[in-house]
Copies of this chain bind each other. A is one copy, B any other.
């Protein structure tokens, strides 16, 4: 069995060594133009030439949760694309979102800033019943995030394309329940895959439906959010703030109005990193299962887009 590794912006040696250790029977090598046809590929942002040459892959593993960029390429016909199910990402997303929700709800930034100024301040505690949190997308990441937020006794709503049931979460599904989901939420957390249906989903019309004092947390893809619509709703006061980890262009261009906006907190696409050892273990397990003829999770449906 031959495995080829083709990941842009990734230190390849630790991955190659890790895959060799996890799959001792496999021949694991770094892809180069003209390389022999492999059975499996581990990829991140490979060049089109890679797809044009590797025509006999049984499966291609994407070392990230989002496959939107991959699906824009001309893929070899019939190749199964497989996403990482979790690989340590869901707990990081839960951390990021809980940290942001708590920080905003409890006004810790305000308290800390007052203390830096030498001011011992008091703010009236807010009611968590006034802070329903809506999670867009209830896949592996969204479900973990929704459960984590619910643990702090916030009312939690979840929305997904197809109906889901998550304990402690009020679940909404499909286009017909989307407005009801938005109207029931004050904080909106985006964890959707980026597809033609979800692009620009956080636009003026939809964000306007959030409860007054709304707050936007985007940890999915920059293209889910219409930047100027967010800015307009922050300016007119319908939204209280936003924490953004992802952007239409990354790194965020120097002249973008998000920089130093008083109501926006920025982080540099760090909400959930691919963790190497967890990912290698998961990919090795899936390859072993496929070799036994088993079906594995995370198979991407190119028509659905995730």
Contact = CB atoms under 8 A, between A and B. Distances in A.
Nearest to A128: B91
Given A120-B252, A121-B268, A268-B121, A96 B91 contact: no
A266 interface: yes
Contacts of A123: 270
Interface residues of A, number: 41
Contacts of A275: 125
A118 interface: yes
Contacts of A152: 91, 94-95, 98, 148
Nearest to A95: B102
Given A111-B268, A120-B251, A120-B252, A273 B95 contact: no
A162 B296 CA distance: 47
A238 interface: no
A116 B260 contact: yes
B273 A125 contact: yes
A167 B128 CA distance: 27
Interface in A74-132: 91-92, 94-96, 98-99, 102-103, 105-106, 108, 111-112, 114-116, 118, 120-123, 125, 128
Nearest to A243: B112
Given A111-B270, A115-B266, A268-B121, A99 B103 contact: yes
Contacts of A49: none
A94 B152 CA distance: 8
Contacts of A102: 95-96, 98-99
Contacts of A177: none
A48 interface: no
A254 B120 CA distance: 10
Interface in A240-289: 250-252, 254, 259-260, 265-268, 270, 273, 275
11 contacts: A91-B128, A95-B106, A98-B98, A98-B102, A99-B102, A112-B267, A118-B259, A120-B252, A120-B268, A121-B268, A125-B275
Closest 7 CB pairs of A and B: A120-B251, A115-B266, A99-B102, A120-B268, A95-B102, A111-B267, A91-B153
